[in-house]
């Protein structure tokens, strides 16, 4: 009962936190920016994880799958689509920040709302085909790989999934964020050196050091949470076999990976100043007042 209660609370938090992000960005016009479109897409994928994927993972804790072989295959396809889209959105956010920090003069011209919307659309389309193609045989012959009645299993290529949903994304995220961090530190030091020549050096140094520590802390949180959430299920499954049968035995490890969807809105949204403002407006029902869409919350 304690475990079920904990998993249910995680589901509720995942749905609630991501719904707050979705409502905030969708409602307030001042938040309709390219970066926030990516946050909206990420929140939508994580919202679906909490609404559809995590509750079924709780059912998979039982010894018997009660929804039939076809629903079993459809569930895994749906979870692959959503998780792949969530990871893809994280990569797009890293690209967005990389361009904004490293090429600020070209950012407003290249990164437009239309361009970002197209990238988000392609991300979801790619996730759909990534899920359908390797799992099509399971959909065509549901229940083909189960060993006993009431079991929910599908056969996938662990190597491909490990590369597409873990190695490639984490490599891109680390490389881009390291580049962003180095550029940010370089800019902070250059600004400190420039201002130190004309003002009090001590004050500037404190400000610059705080900026460097904040950049390092944010980078560390982004990478560490992703690694902690995704590493267990991929590494243990990869060590076990090359072509694996995913079953209810790995439910806890998979749920740890899905917990990343609960942490994403905290990492990507709650650190933005506008998120606290929009949350207060939503919970105080000021969002229902006329003209609330044009409220200045930045």
Considering only CA atoms, which of 253, 248, 256 is closest in space to residue 61? 248
Torsion of CA 116, 119, 124, 130, to 10 degrees: -160
What domains can be seen in the chain, in order of their start residue?
A: 2-294 (1.20.1070.10)
Q: How far apart are CA 24 and CA 291, in angstroms?
A: 14
Sign of the torsion angle spanned by Cα atoms 243, 74, 173, 258: negative
pTM: 0.83
Q: How far apart are CA 93 and CA 110, in angstroms?
A: 15
- Tens-place pLDDT, residues 28-70: 988 898 988 998 999 999 999 999 888 887 776 666 777 777 8
- Tens-place pLDDT, residues 192-205: 666 666 555 544 44
How would residue 271 be classed by pLDDT, with cut points 50, 70 and 90? Answer: confident
Query: E-assigned strands of 184-242?
Result: none
Regarding predicted confidence, which is higher, 23 or 162?
A: 23
Q: How far apart are CA 70 and CA 143, in angstroms?
A: 7
Considering only CA atoms, which of 222, 218, 211 is closest in space to residue 186? 211
Secondary structure letter of residue 291 according to DSSP:
T
Helix (H) or strand (E) holding 243: strand 243-246
Give 3-state DSSP helix, strand, coil % of the chain, rounded to 5.
80, 5, 15
- Tens-place pLDDT, residues 68-92: 778 888 888 898 899 899 889 989 9
Give the C-alpha distances (Å, rounded to integers) separating 15 from 8, 113, 128, 161, 260: 11, 26, 22, 26, 12
């Amino acid at each position: 009962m304690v475990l079920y209660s904990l998993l249910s609370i995680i589901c509720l938090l995942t749905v609630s936190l991501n719904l707050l992000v979705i409502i905030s960005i969708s409602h307030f016009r001042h938040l309709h920016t390219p970066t926030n479109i990516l946050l909206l897409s990420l929140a939508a994928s994580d919202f679906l994880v909490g609404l559809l994927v995590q509750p079924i993972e709780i059912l998979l804790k039982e010894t018997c799958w009660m929804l039939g072989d076809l629903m079993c295959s459809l569930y895994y396809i749906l979870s692959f689509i959503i998780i792949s889209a969530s990871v893809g959105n994280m990569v797009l956010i890293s690209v967005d920040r990389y361009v904004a920090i490293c090429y600020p003069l070209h950012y407003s011209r290249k990164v437009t709302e239309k361009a970002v919307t197209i990238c988000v659309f392609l991300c979801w389309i790619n996730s759909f085909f990534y899920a359908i193609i390797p799992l099509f045989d399971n959909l065509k012959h549901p229940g083909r790989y189960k060993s006993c009645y009431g079991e929910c299993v599908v056969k996938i290529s662990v190597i491909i999934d490990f590369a597409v949903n873990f190695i490639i994304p984490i490599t891109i995220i680390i490389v881009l964020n390291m580049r962003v961090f180095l550029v940010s530190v370089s800019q902070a030091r250059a600004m400190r050196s420039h201002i130190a020549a004309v003002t009090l050096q001590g004050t500037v140094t404190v400000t610059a050091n705080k900026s460097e520590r904040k950049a390092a802390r944010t980078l560390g949180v982004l990478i560490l949470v992703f690694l902690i959430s995704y590493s267990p299920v991929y590494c243990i499954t990869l060590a076990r076999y090359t072509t694996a049968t995913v079953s209810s035995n790995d439910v806890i490890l998979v749920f740890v990976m899905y917990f990343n969807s609960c942490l994403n809105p905290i990492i990507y949204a709650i650190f933005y100043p506008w998120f606290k403002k929009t949350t207060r407006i939503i919970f105080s029902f000021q969002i229902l007042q006329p003209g609330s869409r044009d409220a200045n919350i930045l």
